[in-house]
Structures are given as structure tokens and as C-alpha cells.
């Protein structure tokens, strides 16, 4: 079992955030990967506040472009992501979250948001839902 997440110091947190090149909307793409299996779970967006909250709490927090607000993964569905590591790429314009996924990552009830691919010459769904979205979100949008 992995050691529990230990938040970095305020100085380290500020230095990591300073290394990120946010776009003109104040956002950076965030790739989320399962820390154990290395499966890519999802892509979302983060602003400075979401990065800071994620580093402070150890729970994935993103910025919802459609809602224009912070989106704490699992706040509605219970499908949370516990942070293991947050990394910045070589250009500073993308972040990678390594997480322990609790439940499914996708609002469709699938483990990963990446479930469409070409198989046998046709577009196919390659992952079945593991949870009913209506149950996860109580009939509300994800």
C-alpha cells in the first residue's frame, strides 16, 4: 500500500505553480493517469486555484469550463481521485496527475474517458460502463 499523500510546503507548491504556463484563459490541460496501472483516465483543465487546491488537499480538483467554476472530482458522484503526484511537462504547458481512482473516472460510468477506438476497421466502444451514470449523478448532469 502506498504511503498517504503529504502536501508539499507552501514554497514548493508556489514554485511548481510558477513553472506552469497557463493559457490566456488561465487554464492548463491536465492529463489524469492511474498511478498503479498507468491507464490514462481523463483529460480536464485546471486553473491556478485548482492546482493549488489539489496540491494542498491531495484530492483532484479541476476547472469546469462549462460551469466556469472549480470542479472537485467526485463531489457529486463519489468517484474521487486521490493524488499521488502532480507533474509538469517539459514546456510547462501540460500537467499530469497520477492518482488512485476510487470508482470510475468517466461521467458515462466507464473507468476511463478514452473508450472509443477503431477495431476491425470500424469505430467501436472498447470499454463497457461499470456504473450507471443516473445512479452516480442522481439524474443530474455530470
Q: What is the pLDDT of residue 1?
A: 57
Residue 118 lies in a domain: no
pLDDT, tens digit (0-9, with 9 covering 90-100), for 93-111: 999 999 999 999 999 999 9
pLDDT, tens digit (0-9, with 9 covering 90-100), for 32-45: 999 999 999 999 99
Our count of domains for the chain comes to: 1
Q: How confident is the model at residue 139 (pLDDT cuts 50, 70, 90)?
A: low
The residue segments making up the domain with residue 75 are 10-107
Residue 44 lies in a domain: yes
Residue 123 lies in a domain: no
Residue 87 lies in a domain: yes
pTM: 0.91
What per-residue string of b and e applies to 23-53 under the rule 16 or more CB within 10 Å gives b? eeeebbebbbbbbeeeeebbebbbbeebbbb
Contact between 115 and 101 (Cβ < 8 Å): no
Residue 79 lies in a domain: yes
What whole-number percentage of the chain has pLDDT above 90?
Answer: 89
Q: How far apart are CA 89 and CA 80, in angstroms?
A: 24
Q: How far apart are CA 79 and CA 139, in angstroms?
A: 16
Strand partners, 33: 40, 98
Residue 94 lies in a domain: yes
Residue 2 lies in a domain: no
Q: Count how many residues are written for the chain.
A: 142
Amino acid at each position: 500500500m502506498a504511503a498517504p499523500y503529504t502536501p508539499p510546503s507552501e514554497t514548493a507548491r508556489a514554485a511548481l505553480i510558477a513553472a506552469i504556463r497557463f493559457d490566456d484563459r488561465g487554464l492548463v490541460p491536465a492529463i489524469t493517469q492511474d498511478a498503479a496501472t498507468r491507464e490514462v483516465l481523463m483529460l480536464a483543465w485546471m486553473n491556478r486555484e485548482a492546482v493549488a487546491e489539489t496540491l494542498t488537499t491531495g484530492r483532484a480538483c479541476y476547472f469546469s469550463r462549462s460551469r466556469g467554476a472549480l470542479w472537485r472530482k467526485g463531489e457529486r458522484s463519489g468517484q474521487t481521485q486521490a493524488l499521488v503526484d502532480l507533474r509538469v511537462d517539459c514546456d510547462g504547458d501540460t500537467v499530469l496527475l497520477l492518482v488512485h481512482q476510487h470508482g470510475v473516472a468517466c461521467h458515462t460510468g466507464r473507468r476511463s474517458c478514452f473508450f472509443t477506438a477503431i477495431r476491425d476497421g470500424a469505430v467501436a466502444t472498447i470499454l463497457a460502463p461499470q456504473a450507471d451514470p443516473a445512479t452516480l449523478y442522481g439524474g443530474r448532469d455530470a
